[in-house]
Structure 1
Amino acid sequence: MSNEINIASALHRGATVADLIVSAIARFPERPAFANDEATVSYRELGHMISRIAQHFDDLGLRPGDTVAQLGVNRFEVFAVIAAIYLRGLRSVTLHATGSEADHEYVLNDSTADVFIVDEYHRARAEALKPRCPRVRAWLSIGKVPGHVELASAIRDYTPQPLVPTGDSEQVIRLAYTGGTTGRPKGVMLSSRALVTNALLDLSTKDWPTDVRYLCVAPISHGAGSLVIPTLMQGGCVTLLRGFSIDGVIAAINTHGCNVTWMVPTMLYGLLDSGRTGEVDWSRFHSLIYSGAPASPTRIRQALATFGPVLIQSYGQTEAPNDILILGRREHAELADAQLSSAGRPYPQLRVCLLDEHGVEVPDGQRGEVCVRGPLVMSGYFNRPEETAAALAGDWLHTGDVAYKDADGLYYIVDRKKDLIISGGFNVYPKEVEDAICVNPAVAAAAVIGIPDAKWGELVMAYVQLKEGCVLSEEQITAEVRLAKGAVATPKRVELVSALPLTALGKIDKKALRARHWASDARAVN
């Protein structure tokens, strides 16, 4: 009987991420997997590198469950290391290249990293971290870094072997650390099941061209990297940029024929405002995916007019990677302006509910917390049982986002629960105020926060960035918001800024803005 149970369990373990990568390499050996101005790497060459790295991990004594951390710019070697980690059932931790030294130190120690791999662009950071992270037992480098073993030299003498994945679908193979906007970063435990679901949802639900050429303008170590595996599964090619720039995006599209990309809204706005969009034949471009933060409906309409019907919005979070709600290319082309503020409808295989503070589903049109069930959801937070229990209470992933659903089944993200402003006893949702401000064509971007006030508790304050050469007064801004949203939502203070602060991922950094006003209050780290 026990043998029958074991067999049944094995039959239901499911595919691993490594299975997807190995399958792609076997199917498309001669095609280019990665190509940019620096190098072109075929699927076969990628497979050979993955095998050599995996063998070196074996010789370092790494076993399933051990952790390998990386810090590097966008380069194909970083993906090859990640793939080797998945192949051996290890755990991948990728540090954000623009993260602080303190956060990097914290993540290496919190994740119990056994191996740290750094590239030559971050040698100073590696030298600073080495004496502070005594648990790390092997320090490797991509390129030459003093005190580190160069990875290329370490793997040179290995003969490529067949790629054989280790582990099963429930094995945690990635610790994805949150950005620290709610205090210290938390290690989100992502299993092969979650990451395979992410890849398959991308493949089945997003619109892809026949010949996929993915332009990766954001760090491969984070959200943008999630589209690499779906690209490879279709025999496509990935072009990696080492940072977002208008020049780089336009050159990559024109030189490498890129026809799919992913951006956060601030990148999209920068491209729209550059004056160089006419240098690209957008009729050959297929899909521009945007996510990571809310986008203004006015700017979405501008993007549709500029780029054509190529926009896809995907809403998700680290704990349910990237794919909770989607607004596809067809919806963007067909919906009315008011509906463009929608985050779309749930991906297949997921159940999405809006729950009140008692865990009861709210009726259509009422606001509740976005909660998710399905194979995409994380396994919990690493070594944080209490926070895991809170996030997964009632067998739902509680996202912390507030939304409502209309009669057509479209979900509208109102704001983060933590961003809610309570002014004079009234709830003000910053996103709604930001959308009202961004309707004005002179506005490039806006960020609305609550600031302390003795009378009202919180005042609504707006930081507004204007487009280059445009003029708009604070009085005009407040008058337009009052007309659109009423007196309660109207900012009591408006500050025009030359640029809004951004996080390492290119999102508007409201934590930094709040810290100017709540420096001695816990709200500053919320």
Structure 2
Amino acid sequence: MDALHRTLYVPEILANALNQDETRPLIQLLGGPMMTVGDVRDEASRFVQALSSLGLGKGKRLGLLSANRPEVLHLANAVQLLPAIYVPMHPLGGFDDHLHVVTDAQVDVLIFDAERYADRAKALAEAVPGLRLLAFGGSELAQDLSALAATFSPQQLVPPLVDGDDIVRLGYSGGTTGKPKALASVQRTGLHTIQLMMSEWEWPSQPRFLCCTPLSHAGAAMFIPVLLRGGTMLVLPAFNPEQVLHTIQEYRINTIMLVPTMIYALLDHPRFDEFDLSSLETVFYGASAMSPVRLKEAIERIGPVFMQFYGQAEAPMCVTVLRKHEHDVNDPKRLASCGRPVPWLHVELLGANNQPVADGEPGEICVRGPLIMNGYRDLPELTAQAFDGGWLHSGDVAVRDPGGFLRIIDRTKDMIVTGGFNVYPREIEDILSLHPAVSQVAVIGVPHEKWGEAIKAVVVLRREKGVDAQDLIEMVAAKKGSFQAPKSIEFVPSIPQTPVGKPDKKALREWYSKEV
């Protein structure tokens, strides 16, 4: 290996950054003490030593199931520095999904939050004989990893020499179209994700970042950019709309990352107008499509501070961006856009035979570049499908306008075929969202004897507002034709979500197919 020109990967970047400016405040769990850069560095060292003493070093697969707490971050840093393989399990996931991850990833040890997940850890250990457990906090089930780490004295961080194709994380897809699939995230992917976030995302000059998403997942992705930009991170245990509003006001938060359903919850909170949110400079949002109507409302009520990122687990977070100044509140199509491709990747809309489509024609977003995963672990057929023609096929269908902005019209697997016509649910959802009584909507296809599939809209109404279902059906028919209008509309108090905050259309289709 050429030491003179060798690329530095995340372990070395992390160690270099933690060895500088050690007295600077860096991270605080709400209600707890502020930890400096030096404090975080020392805890990373202690966790490295503790895990090593238990034989959990290079290549070992460390599963994690925890709510937001500082130990999650210390563990994530230690995994990079060992280097081990991180297998985070979403804190909102169900037992079956957690069991699938533990068995499919062949987890060597499951580290769990003793306060929140002791019962789940016990059930998993009973289902997987021989599963080794460690705990954050005192537990009858397992040794306390936090207490063990506290017995070690901090040592100098010595990052390992790693290669770009070394696996650092086994992430799992959301499972909206089947069992979650293991994605092998390698050092190269992690490095380029950080580089793209640093270069393409619109950060305040000194971030005061509020983390209310899981630290085991998206929340942790923000840590190194905040560290490198000289910022601080305040962590909430979980997303609570009123607590988020209060925290932004009290701590003068200037940046936050939210998924659309979180933004809806903030806007719909009855006390929203009581809070001063003027400190916000950038609201990063993504992970699922946002209603253009609700986005316009958010800009008008909070300010022109919204920046969208688009990616997926297979190519994380940085395929396209819609910058703050590109949000035109007078152009619904622009607000429905996921932005333009970043210049560091090759992005095309491909149609039949993997050929580019013309502007205005639907095509699948396909990507080439260093951001892309190495493949689905132990699933060669699915990997071959995903990489067909030498491209990563995203599964998202979009159109491109003459300015280069991409507008996703739907997932290929969510497309509805009714009476021989292709219908993209996203287009129907955007129309229904125009009605002032509609807060959230999800459109699915349900089995139908005559048409094959019938269009069904599941609608959450805004507080103290109502609308007749037939009015909504006629609204769509007037804009898209009767064949694209919903055949039925169901009013519900909430739409089920996947653990990462996306509308769970798989669950909706399963539920409503039982009625047919």
Same-fold call, TM > 0.5? yes
**Counterparts of 1:209 and 1:284 in 2: how far apart (Å)?**
11
State whether residues 464 and 495 of structure 1, in contact with CA within 8 Å, keep that contact through their aligned partners in structure 2.
Answer: yes
Structure 2 spans left out of the alignment, 5+ residues: none
One-letter code aligned to 2:284: I
State whether residues 178 and 187 of structure 1, in contact with CA within 8 Å, keep that contact through their aligned partners in structure 2.
Answer: yes
**Counterparts of 1:19 and 1:394 in 2: how far apart (Å)?**
35
Q: Which runs of 4+ in 1 moved over 4 A?
A: 10-13
Q: Of residues 95, 103, 112 in structure 2, which corresponds to 1:109? A: 103
- Secondary structure of the residue aligned to 2:327 is helix
Q: Of residues 290, 296, 306 in structure 2, which corresponds to 1:311? A: 306
- In the alignment, structure 1 residue 427 sits paired with structure 2 residue 415: no
Q: Of residues 39, 43, 47 in structure 1, which corresponds to 2:41? A: 47
Q: CA RMSD in A?
A: 1.7
Paired position in structure 1 for 2:157: 163
Paired position in structure 2 for 1:82: 76
Q: Of residues 31, 49, 72 in structure 1, which corresponds to 2:24? A: 31
One-letter code aligned to 2:15: V
Paired position in structure 2 for 1:149: 143
One-letter code aligned to 2:202: D
Aligned length: 513
Q: State the shift of 1:13 in Å.
A: 4.9
**Counterparts of 2:286 and 2:56 in 1: how far apart (Å)?**
36
- In the alignment, structure 1 residue 382 sits paired with structure 2 residue 377: yes
Q: Of residues 212, 223, 235 in structure 1, which corresponds to 2:230? A: 235
Q: Of residues 278, 284, 292 in structure 2, which corresponds to 1:283? A: 278
Q: Of residues 8, 12, 15 in structure 2, which corresponds to 1:15? A: 8
Bigger Cα displacement from structure 2, 511-520 vs 409-418:
511-520
One-letter code aligned to 1:21: L
- Secondary structure of the residue aligned to 1:381 is coil
One-letter code aligned to 2:446: I
Give the 5 Å matches for 1:319-468: 319-333=314-328, 336-468=331-463
State whether residues 328 and 335 of structure 2, in contact with CA within 8 Å, keep that contact through their aligned partners in structure 1.
Answer: no
TM-score scaled by structure 2? Answer: 0.96
- In the alignment, structure 1 residue 178 sits paired with structure 2 residue 165: no
- Secondary structure of the residue aligned to 1:282 is coil
- Secondary structure of the residue aligned to 1:315 is strand
State whether residues 69 and 117 of structure 1, in contact with CA within 8 Å, keep that contact through their aligned partners in structure 2.
Answer: yes
State whether residues 113 and 135 of structure 1, in contact with CA within 8 Å, keep that contact through their aligned partners in structure 2.
Answer: no
State whether residues 71 and 146 of structure 2, in contact with CA within 8 Å, keep that contact through their aligned partners in structure 1.
Answer: no
- Counterparts in 2 of 1:519 and 1:394: CA distance versus 1, 3 Å: farther
Paired position in structure 2 for 1:126: 121
One-letter code aligned to 1:443: V
Paired position in structure 2 for 1:3: none
One-letter code aligned to 1:146: E
**Counterparts of 1:224 and 1:401 in 2: how far apart (Å)?**
24
State whether residues 242 and 266 of structure 2, in contact with CA within 8 Å, keep that contact through their aligned partners in structure 1.
Answer: no
Q: Of residues 48, 65, 69 in structure 2, which corresponds to 1:71? A: 65
State whether residues 442 and 471 of structure 1, in contact with CA within 8 Å, keep that contact through their aligned partners in structure 2.
Answer: yes
Q: State the shift of 1:281 in Å.
A: 2.8
TM-score scaled by structure 1? Answer: 0.94
Q: State the shift of 1:12 in Å.
A: 5.9
Q: Deviations over 1:394-421 (max 9, x none)?
A: 2211111111111110001110000000
- Secondary structure of the residue aligned to 1:251 is helix
One-letter code aligned to 1:457: G
Q: State the shift of 1:488 in Å.
A: 1.7
State whether residues 112 and 135 of structure 1, in contact with CA within 8 Å, keep that contact through their aligned partners in structure 2.
Answer: no
**Counterparts of 2:351 and 2:85 in 1: how far apart (Å)?**
35
- In the alignment, structure 1 residue 269 sits paired with structure 2 residue 268: no
State whether residues 13 and 169 of structure 1, in contact with CA within 8 Å, keep that contact through their aligned partners in structure 2.
Answer: no
**Counterparts of 1:109 and 1:458 in 2: how far apart (Å)?**
36
Q: State the shift of 1:225 in Å.
A: 2.7
**Counterparts of 2:515 and 2:50 in 1: how far apart (Å)?**
49
Q: Deviations over 1:252-295 (max 9, x none)?
A: 21232221111111110111111333333333211111111111
Q: State the shift of 1:31 in Å.
A: 1.5
State whether residues 137 and 147 of structure 2, in contact with CA within 8 Å, keep that contact through their aligned partners in structure 1.
Answer: no
Q: Deviations over 1:110-144 (max 9, x none)?
A: 1111121101210111111113233534x211111
Paired position in structure 1 for 2:87: 93
State whether residues 355 and 371 of structure 1, in contact with CA within 8 Å, keep that contact through their aligned partners in structure 2.
Answer: yes
State whether residues 26 and 233 of structure 2, in contact with CA within 8 Å, keep that contact through their aligned partners in structure 1.
Answer: yes
State whether residues 296 and 329 of structure 2, in contact with CA within 8 Å, keep that contact through their aligned partners in structure 1.
Answer: no
**Counterparts of 2:193 and 2:317 in 1: how far apart (Å)?**
7
- Counterparts in 2 of 1:334 and 1:14: CA distance versus 1, 3 Å: farther
State whether residues 69 and 116 of structure 1, in contact with CA within 8 Å, keep that contact through their aligned partners in structure 2.
Answer: yes
Q: State the shift of 1:80 in Å.
A: 0.8
Paired position in structure 2 for 1:260: 255
- Secondary structure of the residue aligned to 1:84 is helix
One-letter code aligned to 1:58: S
Bigger Cα displacement from structure 2, 110-119 vs 425-434:
110-119
**Counterparts of 2:244 and 2:74 in 1: how far apart (Å)?**
24
- Counterparts in 2 of 1:279 and 1:16: CA distance versus 1, 3 Å: farther
- Counterparts in 2 of 1:180 and 1:76: CA distance versus 1, 3 Å: same
State whether residues 288 and 310 of structure 1, in contact with CA within 8 Å, keep that contact through their aligned partners in structure 2.
Answer: yes
